[in-house]
């Protein structure tokens, strides 16, 4: 996209005619074929989430997260309740459509209504959701809300720069790598360099089409295997 210039010939960025501040995401459910994304309620979801998380016997899912692992259900419930009191997070439980049980968590955060920018983060996928169509569909439903329903301009993904699976997931979902913020944080007593990724509103239509093609029932064989990978579809855009 070309940049405009002022009367001195200096670049000043392209205009955004008619822009107004966006609304915060609503705390309402999102439904797909493989999953349901609904506002997290500790009383309703904590038991299922703790049980699903406990299937990760080695605790690998917590390695790069600022929280966890937890000694028992009481510790997990207390942490979840505290997490829900954070006013800068809008947090959802991800329920598997086939069981109706909560198997993961994801949040909107760093919400900038004036700029139309928002981050997806706090992503905590239990083994029951990892590498499953439901996990991919949940990310698509949250993207679609941000761009199609709310009209945001920018969708962010950030992770520990050492977290290779998270970086690969971001690129599989169509996020573009933007760079590394060095020594950005201290997490669990260790340095964290943060990798930044984003999708912009101009990129969204092609990414949306890739997701829709991947999620189409025709893309899965009788055993549930994918015929085309999402990575292949997002890199074709």
pLDDT confidence of residue 12: 83
Does 128 fall in a domain?
yes
Does 8 fall in a domain?
no
Does 24 fall in a domain?
no
pLDDT confidence of residue 26: 96
Does 177 fall in a domain?
yes
Domain region containing 140: 30-235
In the chain (237 residues long), the average pLDDT of successive 10-residue segments reads: 68 90 97 97 97 96 95 96 92 97 98 98 97 97 98 98 97 98 97 98 98 96 92 86
Count the domains in the chain: 1
pLDDT confidence of residue 11: 82
Does 49 fall in a domain?
yes
pLDDT confidence of residue 7: 62
Does 37 fall in a domain?
yes
Does 19 fall in a domain?
no
pLDDT confidence of residue 25: 97
DSSP collapsed to 3 states, the chain? CCCCECCCCCECCCCCCCCCCCCCCCCCCEECCCEEEEECCHHHHHHHHHHHHCCCCCCHHHCCCCCCCCCCHHHHHHHHHHHHCCCCEEEEEEEECCCCCEEEEEEEEEEECCCCEEEEEEEEECCCCCCCHHHHHHHHHHHHHHHHHCCCCEEEEEEECCCHHHHHHHHHCCCEEEEEEEEEEEECCEEEEEEEEEEECCCHHHHHHHHHHHHCHHHECCCCCECCCHHHHHHCC
Does 21 fall in a domain?
no
pLDDT confidence of residue 87: 86
Q: What is the CATH number of the domain that holds 88?
A: 3.40.630.30
pLDDT confidence of residue 10: 82
pLDDT confidence of residue 136: 98
pLDDT confidence of residue 18: 94
């Amino acid at each position: 996209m070309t940049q405009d210039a002022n009367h001195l010939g200096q670049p000043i960025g392209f205009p955004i005619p008619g822009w107004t501040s966006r609304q915060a995401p609503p705390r309402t459910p999102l439904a797909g074929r493989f999953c349901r994304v609904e506002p997290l309620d500790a009383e309703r979801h904590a038991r299922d989430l703790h049980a699903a998380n406990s299937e990760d016997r080695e605790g690998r899912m917590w390695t790069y997260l600022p929280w966890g692992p937890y000694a028992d259900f009481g510790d997990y419930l207390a942490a979840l309740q505290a997490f829900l009191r954070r006013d800068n997070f809008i947090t959802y439980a991800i329920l598997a459509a086939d069981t109706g049980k909560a198997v993961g968590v994801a949040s909107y955060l760093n919400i900038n209504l004036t700029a139309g920018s928002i981050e997806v983060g706090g992503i905590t996928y239990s083994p029951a959701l990892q590498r499953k169509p439901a996990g991919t569909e949940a990310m698509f439903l949250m993207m679609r809300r941000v761009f199609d329903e709310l009209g945001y301009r920018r969708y962010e993904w950030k992770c520990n720069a050492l977290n290779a699976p998270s970086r690969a997931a971001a690129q599989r979902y169509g996020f573009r790598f933007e760079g590394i913020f060095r020594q950005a944080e201290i997490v669990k007593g260790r340095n964290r360099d943060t990798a930044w990724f984003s999708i912009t509103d101009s990129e969204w239509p092609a990414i949306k089409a890739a997701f829709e093609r991947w999620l189409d029932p025709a893309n899965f064989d009788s055993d549930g295997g994918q015929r085309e990978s999402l990575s292949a579809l997002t890199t074709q855009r």
